[in-house]
Amino acid sequence: MLLNSKQVAIVGGGPGGLILARLLQLKGANVKVYERDVNKDARLIGSPLDMHEGSGLTALRTANLLEAFKKNFRPGADRKLIVDEQAKIFFSDHDTKPAEDFDNPHFHPEIDRGPLRALLLESLQPGTMVWDSHFMSMEAREEGWLLHFKNGSSVYADVVIAADGANSKIRPYLTSIKAFYSGVTMLEGNIPDASNAAPHIYSLLNGGKLMAYGHEHNLLMGLKGNGDLTFYASFKPAANWATDSGINFSDKTQLLAWFKNEYAGWSNIWYELFENAATPFIPRPIYCMPLDQSWTTLSNLTLLGDAAHVMPPFAGEGANMAMLDALELSEYLTSGQYGTMQEAISAYETNMRKRAAAAAKQSLDNGERMHSKNALHNMLSIFGGHHN
């Protein structure tokens, strides 16, 4: 095996990095995961993840973790409503959603980020995780790299795999290509104890997720297993809106006034979101890597997930792509099909970039549909609803 006697450093403990560590350990590789979080109990923000057959679920199955996943996913959380700006329901699959069926390729079970991380962590060998390891820099050393962390520690690795997300500090060691602004910004809010704090929206959601479309703006939301409600106001401002708007994102009064103005014509039912959210809100300008990106392959460094191909979230492929990257990379490195590390990584990167470009194009196209004047009609045509 190409990784015999090599020390592998995975930087980043998200779904992609963790399942790669699991898959490589199953093949006998020597792996460490360096994660900036202080410990396993660090709070994970963001909406739940839906796993897809052919990517996330396939990676979990190959890692012998499907049964653990089945014990932790949230049945029914993938049910959805599509409404207009007045909260009028145009599509619901709450009564027609088929039973949870892991043999159905169209079944996309949802899981919260915390339980997914927990089951992946539990699958790793003791000592694999190195917490409180905020990557700062690295330098070529012998055949590999010497990595330096914010806590003052330094480690050597023969192979470094960057799984450190959209703002990867390792990516510049491989390529100078940068992501471009997609034209969309999503303002994230979170409401703890939503059943009491936002009872009208909570009742409307009925345990699933909701997508509201109107006037080239969206509201997207769903519940977490702990009862929190995460929502996103998705719209198309300038790239630097978050800094130029003058909004204090810790001031709910300002945010509600902004919503009333920016989402003019929307029902006051949505005010409940902004009146009861925890602060600060988080503005998230959405970026995408160029679809034709390429770089010169190295024998001791590669990328996966958002570090390699950050893309808009409008196809639900982010975590799934990262986990598929991990699955394919593990196979390229351990199958014995390639004679050198460089050949194996080159084959992985070529396939990964092609696959990611197709997913990114789909996400960009969906983003345009979702923020168009005919967004409600466009999305109903995809999900099979109707628009009078």
Q: How remote is the C-alpha of 204 from its chain's centroid?
A: 25
Question: For the chain, what is the largest distance between any 2 Cα atoms, rounded to a whole number of angstroms?
Answer: 67
Q: Find out whether 50 is annotated in a ligand binding site.
A: yes
Q: What is the DSSP letter of 6?
A: P
Q: Find out whether 292 is annotated in a ligand binding site.
A: no
Q: Find out whether 251 is annotated in a ligand binding site.
A: no
Report how far residue 366's alpha carbon sits from residue 63's, in angstroms, rounded to the nearest whole number: 31
Sequence-distant (≥ 6) Cβ neighbours of residue 75 within 8 angstroms: 100, 109
- Does an H or E element contain 149, and which? strand 144-149
Q: Find out whether 306 is annotated in a ligand binding site.
A: yes
**Per DSSP, what are the bridge partners of residue 50?**
110
Helices (H), 162-198: 194-197
Q: What is the DSSP letter of 270?
A: G
279 — phi, psi (to 5°)? -120, 155
Residue type at 269 in one-letter notation: I
Strands 129-130 and 135-141: what pairing?
unpaired
Tracing tokens 């990167």 back to the chain, one arrives at 349
Paired tokens of 356 = 């990611």
Convert 98-143 into a string of H (helix), E (strand) and C (coil): CCCCCCCCCCCCEECHHHHHHHHHHCCCCCCEECCCCEEEEEEECC
Paired tokens of 50 = 């839906």
For 60, the 3-state DSSP assignment is helix
Sequence-distant (≥ 6) Cβ neighbours of residue 41 within 8 angstroms: none
Sequence-distant (≥ 6) Cβ neighbours of residue 222 within 8 angstroms: 47, 48, 77, 205, 208, 209, 210, 229, 230
Nearest to 171 by CA among 324, 342, 303, 344: 303
Q: What angle, rounded to 10 degrees, do the helices at 15-26 and 113-122 form?
A: 20
Binding site residue list for FAD: 50, 113, 306
- Annotation: binding site for NADPH: 43
Binding site: what residues are annotated?
43, 50, 113, 306
